[in-house]
Amino acid sequence: MKRRDFLVSTFASALAISALDFKQAHAYNIPYNGLIDIQMNGKSQYLDDYTPFIDENNRTMVPLRFVSEKFGRTVDWHEESRYAIIRDDDSKALYFPVHSNFYIRNDGETIEMDTESVIHNNRLYIPLRYLAEELSLRVDFTFNNNKPLIVLEDKLYINSRNPDLKSYSVYPFNATILYTYNDLVADLNWLKRYYGDVLDIHSMGKSTSGEYDIWGIRLGNGEKVATAHGAMHGNEWLNIPILIEQIKEYASLYKSNGYYQGKNVRQLLDDVSIHFIPSVNPDGTALCQFGAYAFPQRAEELYRLNNNHVPAGYDFTRWKANINGVDLNRNMDTGMRELLRDDISNRRRPGFLEPTYAFFMGDDVESEVESKILCNHYRQKNSVLLLDYHSSGRILYWNFSNTNYNRQDDGSFVQVPDLLTTQARKIASAMSSVTGYINHDASAVHNNTTINRWGTYRLQIPSITVETTNVVDVQRTVGAMKFMNAYFNERSRVLYATLTAVAAI
């Protein structure tokens, strides 16, 4: 068997990770009662029955699945052979057998450990030092309220807090408040574990960078499909956790055969399924949250794009586009691209006719991977509803360009059936009643190239833009408490918005 010298990560100083600091706590007049808290990327974790402990070999043991999934890995359990597999997006896999003092990498290398993995509280626990090394985590031991605390941080989180990096995010609050891609994956893993029997959770493809999956989650068995997608704009990532909360609530009602507004949720969703796409633009969100450091190989190019037309320096918090500088919400074929180009030129905003932080339509329709994935989903499914979640204004927009402004590039006019307008009005009214949002007929909005107009004109299905909050306009200046209050307030407002829309079809 082979063994490597332990190094927590290539970017952190070596730490002697053992239980000694905790068991010798009495030297600092701190009582040690065997309970250990854990903090991951600045967020305290509710452990319940996942509490770390110290084994008879004086080693700190942590729950494999809980820690791995919190840092964006997936974990599979093989009951027959009694081992767990940790996987990441780079095809790396680690095999941890139960009651063994070794684990195996997918390249065949066997790594010895100085204590055995064990089953504790029906969970597989392994030594922290080896898991930290494999996940490239920085580890620290400290005390919080006289209680031992393990602090785990990954590289992206560490650098997001480093003021010496020009590319760090300039949000006015600590990065722990951000809802990152790893948080999304952790929530999806939680959903798989508790609602995997009623949810179909799948990757719809990779983002342009190839570093992130675009996830789809389907609930219900209905052939007709209503879709709610969010975060087409990178800086509107607040809707990702909002949509995840909707999934959790609806899955619970579906599984328990519960009711909403007098309707059986299972029967409702077995007639019209809901397909969620919480994060259409994960590259753009990573740029918004962490700056160009998120993609160091393209940092110079991204700095240039971020300063095109309206300079912003190293502040990426306004970033809407994907990593190519294309605004995904303007990359659809609505028949009005040339009209919009003329409009941009007439307003003397030529910077938006080339890649930049927002508004650029792209060189061709559906030129971007993310746009193709989203549009193909709507085209290939039996779509009956398009809900486009954004973050500006607490307004429901529908009926885009359905009066005098529906002229196409070729000079023709497209008329939307009256029945479609009536359906959209009915659904928007129902959503307005539960959210308190303004119900806005957008027929007077001209030269619109968004996916809302694409769904209305090309697919001819009810298409509604849900602007959940005005926080996107102020999140660069408000404090952490105001930002979090906005999230919790908005989450409660729109918790049943999508389900209400489906019920109104």
The residues annotated as belonging to the active site are 467
Instruction: Return the HEC string of 55-79.
Output: CCCCCEEEEHHHHHHHCCCEEEEEC
Each residue of 241-267: b (16+ CB within 10 Å) or e?
bbbbbbbbbbbebbbeeeebeeeebbe
Each residue of 17-52: b (16+ CB within 10 Å) or e?
bbbebbeebeeeeeebeeebbbbbbbeebeeeebbb
Strand partners, 149: 37, 142
Side by side, the strands of the sheet bearing 463-467 are 199-206, 213-219, 272-277, 224-230, 383-390, 463-467, 395-398, 438-441
